[in-house]
Chain A
Amino acid sequence: MIKLKTGSNTWAANNLRNSVRLMGWNAAWVASMALAAFGPKLMWNYDTLLTILSVLINLGIGFAMVLANRRYLRGLDELHQKIFLDAAVLTLGVGLVCGLSYELLEDIKLIPFQPEISHLVILMCLTFLTGMIVGHRKYR
């Protein structure tokens, strides 16, 4: 009779560690983005060197976050990788198609205001969230 492992699940523990690491990088990126956005006006009165530095820090942390996201994805099991990638593909498609159409709306004078990148980011976040929920329900 084959004896199964008992005790902790190392795969789950690694997965949790990757999730926490990704969350940390996300929080750091948001904080560095806030620093780069509000720092020049509120903290150092548009000092060029400090502004450039804050933008570079934001970019550096952003790339580290991307790498943490890749590590998180690679640590998932194959079903969860599939769910994640399906949601990511959907997000990329929706972001590209809707982003370009949104930009076009202003060009062809169908909307009176300048398209905001934040609207696209919100749409992409909601699309990814929906894709993840649908994927998890599909394989429940």
Chain B
Amino acid sequence: MKNRLKVLRAERDWTQAQLATELEVSRQTVNAIEKGKFDPSLPLAFKVARLFDMAIEDIFQYATES
């Protein structure tokens, strides 16, 4: 799954630690999601979407292998 978390975070000038605090996860988790190493659960994805005031599909895109 691809996501725009890093771009969205950078646009708002937030650090990974700040975002992690807001989402109540560790900084490592934010980093792993940004790098596409870890896909968040649906509740966490909703939390991210609500925080950025966007739809989930505008942040996370399901990518099939080519």
A-to-B contact residues, CB < 8 Å = 1-2, 4-5, 9-12, 77-80, 82, 136, 138-140
Contacts and interface: CB of A to CB of B under 8 A. Distances in A.
Interface of B: 12, 14, 18-22, 24-26, 28-29, 31-32, 37-38, 40-41, 44, 51-53
Contact of A78 (B19, B37, B41): B41
A77 B37 contact: no
Q: Is the interface of B mostly helix, strand, loop or mixed?
A: helix
Contact of A80 (B22, B26, B40, B41): B26
B37 A138 contact: yes
Contacts of A79: 25-26, 28-29, 32, 38
Closest 5 CB pairs of A and B: A11-B24, A77-B25, A79-B29, A139-B32, A9-B21
A78 B51 contact: no
A114 B18 CA distance: 55
Given A11-B24, A77-B24, A139-B37, A4 B18 contact: yes
A139 B38 contact: yes
A5 B22 contact: yes
